[in-house]
Amino acid sequence: MSEELKSTNGSNSAISRLPLKEAMANGDFAVTCEIGPPKGVDTAEIYEVGEILKGLVNGINVTDLQSSVMRLGSLAACHMLKDMGHDPIFQMTCRDRNRLALQSDLLSAYALGIRNVLSLTGDHTTTGDHPQAKPVYDLDSVSLLYTMSKLEEGLDLVDNPLKGKPSFFKGAVVNPGADTDASLNLQLMKMQKKIDAGAQFFQTQAVFDERVMEKFAIKIEKLGIKVPVMAGVILLKSEKMANYMNKNVPGIFVPKNIIDRMAATTDKVSMCLEILTELITRLKPYCAGVHIQALGWEKHVPALIENVGI
């Protein structure tokens, strides 16, 4: 462990990273981590994770009722992280709110000092714990990006003037792991639509093979796309988890050699960190940063960041 990390005694207070927008403008290799708010009002875990990641990441991405499971809201969790000194990334899904509520929440986020927003259409309610809930989908991820751009002009969606206009760092998602040329080209078309609507950075679905990002990087370079793309990576907990994702999560594929390595060890944490260290090192030439989905293993993120040397 480096002397700088040791000197913080686990608090990481001696280390600092630029906020996400500044890091990308500076050409730094950006690092973000994702957390999910609790199902309830016990927010201790938010503060624990915030403390673990303090000084180590450029931003913390807070999920918005991920997988359509009812939880504490992303906006509240972002506000807590902001108070801790983090640069939160406010995920917004269009599933649960109409355009009135989406615009209001965007203004609320800005008023609370939150500047980064990741635009998502959102999983259907039938996939979650309240399958009887009625989905809204008044807007989609593209029109939500347009909405942010409109608010930045000082107008709402029906051209009523705002008293004070916000300014956001607008993000969107893309899947470089499409399994056919046709589906990959569709992703590229959607990506361009999102850029035209105002997207300033992208975050990918989880990638387990650097060749996927290499192919994608070549494609977007040929198209003249300059918007930074962060590669999503997952802390893989077991071979069972890998097999489940291969079977049930579209656009994600864990190669057999990684599954075999996880299956061959009893020390899943060490093998997971070894695999991800190798993967991120190989991904670095093809992306502007990594978005780490720790899925409850946030305490291992500092070791991963140190191993990779970012």
pLDDT, mean of residues 200-222? 95
As to burial, measured by CB atoms within 10 angstroms (0-12 exposed, 13-18 middle, 19+ buried), residue 2 is exposed
Please count the other Cβ atoms lying within 10 Å of the Cβ belonging to residue 214.
16
Distance CA 230, CA 233 (A): 9
Summary mean pLDDT of the chain: 93
User: pLDDT category, 10, cuts 50, 70, 90?
Assistant: very low
Q: In this predicted structure, what is the pLDDT of residue 310?
A: 81
Q: In this predicted structure, what is the pLDDT of residue 6?
A: 34
For a pLDDT cut of 70, what percent of the chain falls above it? 95
Task: Give the least confident one: 118-122, 244-248, 280-284.
Answer: 244-248
Q: What is the 3-state secondary structure (H, E, C) of 158-208?
A: CCCECCCCCCCEEEEEECCCCCCHHHHHHHHHHHHHHHHHCCCEEEEEECC
Q: In this predicted structure, what is the pLDDT of residue 177?
A: 85
Q: In this predicted structure, what is the pLDDT of residue 181?
A: 85
User: pLDDT category, 71, cuts 50, 70, 90?
Assistant: very high
User: pLDDT category, 13, cuts 50, 70, 90?
Assistant: very low
Give domain limits for the chain.
Answer: 3-237+286-299
User: pLDDT category, 8, cuts 50, 70, 90?
Assistant: very low
| Token reading at 99 | 């355009």
Please count the other Cβ atoms lying within 10 Å of the Cβ belonging to residue 159.
8
For a pLDDT cut of 90, what percent of the chain falls above it? 89
User: pLDDT category, 4, cuts 50, 70, 90?
Assistant: very low
pLDDT at 15 over 90: no
User: pLDDT category, 12, cuts 50, 70, 90?
Assistant: very low
pLDDT, mean of residues 230-242? 96
Q: In this predicted structure, what is the pLDDT of residue 7?
A: 32
**Top CATH class, 3-237+286-299:** alpha beta
What are the backbone angles phi and psi of residue 173, rounded to the nearest 5°? Answer: -115, 155
- Cα dihedral 23/233/141/178 (nearest 10): 130
Q: What is the 3-state secondary structure (H, E, C) of 264-275?
A: CCCCHHHHHHHH
pLDDT, mean of residues 122-132? 94
Distance CA 204, CA 288 (A): 11
